[in-house]
Structure 1
Amino acid sequence: MNETFKKGDKVSVLDEAIDGVVLSVQGNQVSIESNEGFMMTFFVNEIIKINDASNLEFGTGSHHLNKVKQEKEIPKPRSFVKEKKSSKEIPVPEFDLHIEKLVKNFRQMSNYDILTLQTETAKRHIDFAIKNRIPKIVFIHGVGEGILKAELDFLMGRYDNIIFRDANYQKYGLGATEVLVKQNQK
Structure 2
Amino acid sequence: MFAKGDKVAVLDDDLNGIVLSIKNDEVTIETDEGFVMTYFVKQLLKINISSNLMDSIKSINVDKIIKEKTIPTPRSFTKERKEKHEISAPEFDLHIEKLVSNKRGMSNYDILTLQSETAKRHIEFAIRNRIPKIVFIHGVGEGVLKAELDFLLGRYDNIAFQEGNYQKYGQGATEVFIKQSSK
Determine the structure 2 residue equivalent to 1:128.
125
Give unmatched runs, 5+ long, in structure 2.
Answer: 1-74
The two structures have a TM-score, normalised by structure 1, of 0.55
- Provide closer, same or farther for how the CA distance between residues 168 and 104 of structure 1 changes in structure 2, counting only shifts above 3 A: same
> SS of the residue aligned with 1:163?
strand
Correspondence list, 1:24-103, <5 A: 83-103=80-100
Determine the structure 1 residue equivalent to 2:154.
157
Residue 182 of structure 1 pairs with residue 182 of structure 2: no
- Provide closer, same or farther for how the CA distance between residues 105 and 154 of structure 1 changes in structure 2, counting only shifts above 3 A: same
2:163 to 136, 141, 166: 166
Query: What do you get for the CA RMSD once the two structures are aligned?
Result: 1.8
Q: 1:89: how far off? A: 1.1
> SS of the residue aligned with 1:95?
strand
> SS of the residue aligned with 2:112?
helix
Correspondence list, 1:130-149, <5 A: 130-149=127-146
Give unmatched runs, 5+ long, in structure 1.
Answer: 1-77
> SS of the residue aligned with 1:149?
helix
Count of residues in Structure 1 that have an aligned counterpart in Structure 2: 109
Q: 1:83: how far off? A: 4.3
Q: 1:85: how far off? A: 2.4
CA-to-partner distance for each residue in 1:31-85, whole Å, 9 max, x for gaps? xxxxxxxxxxxxxxxxxxxxxxxxxxxxxxxxxxxxxxxxxxxxxxx99765442
- Provide closer, same or farther for how the CA distance between residues 81 and 184 of structure 1 changes in structure 2, counting only shifts above 3 A: same
- Provide closer, same or farther for how the CA distance between residues 153 and 82 of structure 1 changes in structure 2, counting only shifts above 3 A: closer
Determine the structure 1 residue equivalent to 2:10.
none
Amino acid aligned to 1:85: K
CA-to-partner distance for each residue in 1:98-124, whole Å, 9 max, x for gaps? 000000010210100000000000000
> SS of the residue aligned with 1:90?
coil
Amino acid aligned to 1:91: S
| Cα distance in 2 between the residues matched to 1:80 and 1:148 | 30
Percent identity reads 78
- Provide closer, same or farther for how the CA distance between residues 166 and 82 of structure 1 changes in structure 2, counting only shifts above 3 A: closer
